[in-house]
Structure 1
Amino acid sequence: QTLNNLSDERTEYLINDRLSFMRFLGLGLSDRVPDAKTVWLCQKRLTQTGAIDGLFNRFDATLRNAGYLPMSGQILDATLVAAPKQRNTNAEKADLRAGRIPEDWQDKPANLSHKDRHARWTLKFTKAKRQDDGTMPSSDLAIPFFGYKSHVSIDRKYRFIRKWKTMHAAASDGARLREGLLDKTNTASSVWADTAYRSKANEDFM
């Protein structure tokens, strides 16, 4: 879903329509296909129970047992993950930033199920394009972005994800390195990361 930017409804349709999607899920033509509601419930329950950590650890153990040990150092990077934009009042925004549930939502379960209370706004900087007269703008473009930031650490040898952490988009990159993003089992100690992760605190930690 993430790689193809698919809604739950579109996912249900493509599983029914595409043999490649069926093969990926181990389904045959005569098998029952989960509907959009089932996909949504599965994701919600995985999140609520914290099962993703256990599943990821099983995946990593399978890689190691197959001989794909973390080797040659590691590479850190972060990717922005968009969330649906929301229309909230200033008071609701203040409550959400403070980690509170807005008072008007307490008795409205529908609001709680449809509102993303953890995503945040940040600025995404990108290189400005060359103008028609051939000149380059003097500064980069700052584009508002709402959602999350997914931090991953891959081993340099096989390029498999070994550690990960997801935060709201406004959280600084640097502090994530000290929150379990480094894989201490890697056979080499070298770490590659962009300047967002560089700080004295991180260098002392490493």
Structure 2
Amino acid sequence: MEYEIHWKRVFVLLGFVLVLSGFGLNFVLTSEPTHLTGYVVLEEGVRVSTEKLDPALVKELKEGNTENKVVIILEDTAGTTSPNEQRQQDAIDDVQEEFIDDLENDIDVEVETISTLEHKEADLIITKEFESTNAVAGEILTGDALVELAHNNDVKKIMLDYPVELVLDGSINELNAPSLHTLGITGKHNSVCIIDTGVDYTHPDLG
């Protein structure tokens, strides 16, 4: 059986495929990455991997807010998870100090207290080094700082630092209390005593 090649149709089809390929390539190069691609684009056009960024921080970045207060959770070592409290504390101090020293080789880092945040000329300001948690708090001021943190092997997670307010109906789910309620454990007829020097015992809610 002989086949007749319709060259005109072949060229038309080939041209159609090339046009579609061009549109696809243009979409990849110009469209803003979403959570599906694992990147977020900063104002200066820099792409940052979202692998270590929590959703709240990604949302702020997509809205154009590049200066954010964050909590940087560091990778644990054998010492930072030690059951010995003093050994754990020493290990956390060492990890935090080494982390900050390494950062200073690549970006401008300042270690200050929250009360002295007046001159924001650095890339990253470390405002707190936690004692019992392998993490530091700070403020990211430039895209360079975010890129460096996102690619840093010592960084486990970068969380947006923002005030959280929980009321009883919200905290119940956070404590997984409904799972106890299904077992008939509701706390009914049980009294709770809170001893705290900061409690105003004359407050009407405390009887």
TM bucket normalised to smaller: under 0.3
Structure 1 length as normaliser, TM-score? 0.24
Rg larger for? 2
